[in-house]
Amino acid sequence: MLFAAVDCPDLFESLVVGSGAVGVELVAGRLIELMQSPFGAFADAEGGDLAVAFVSEPAARPPPPSVVEDYWHSSAAARFDNAANFIRAYPEELPVLKGLLTKVETPVLVLAGRQGPLVQPANGEHLVDRIPRSREVLLEGGHLIWEDAAVEYG
């Protein structure tokens, strides 16, 4: 979304972002091993099981069964390994993003969890320090802030 906001500043009236790493130096926890994993590292594993463990372990409270099932199905078979390519691209793409953040004209709300072990609040601070029209709101919860603080998240 932030790349698109730079490329097409009239496309968005505003943005709400969060729960994503924005600097390689800010990558934490299990995201580090995912970022450093070679392509195909999880191809022989059941992706659904990996995804469920990945989102359940750092959760501030256990996700509801329907959410767990959704994560499982969306990452089943090789989908988890394919999705990991997004994280594997961090070393190339996040430095480019960092150089563009001051050019984001769109107002940005950074919404994240105060106890996010995978994507720590420093990521939001990184954005707010660089995006001219931005602010951060930290909610009580972890990486799955839309689950941990569903009412406040809105």
18-39 burial, b at 16+ Cβ within 10 Å, e below that, comes to bbbbbbeebbbbebeebbeeee
Task: Spell out the domain ranges in the chain.
Answer: 2-153
C-alpha torsion 37→75→3→129, nearest 10:
-70
Express as a percent the part of the chain with pLDDT over 90.
Answer: 74
**Residue 141 and residue 114 in contact, taking contact as beta carbons nearer than 8 Å:** yes
pLDDT tens-place string over residues 71-119: 999 999 999 999 999 999 999 999 999 999 999 999 999 999 998 788 8
Fold of the CATH domain 2-153: Rossmann fold (3.40.50)
Model confidence over 27-53: pLDDT tens digits?
988 899 999 999 999 999 999 999 999
Q: Are 12 and 136 in contact (CB under 8 A)?
A: no
Structural tokens at position 48? 């659904």
Q: Distance (Å, rounded) from C-alpha 154 to C-alpha 23?
A: 27
pLDDT of residue 3: 97
Q: Tokens 């996700």 correspond to what residue?
A: 63
Phi, psi of 140 (to 5 degrees): -75, 115
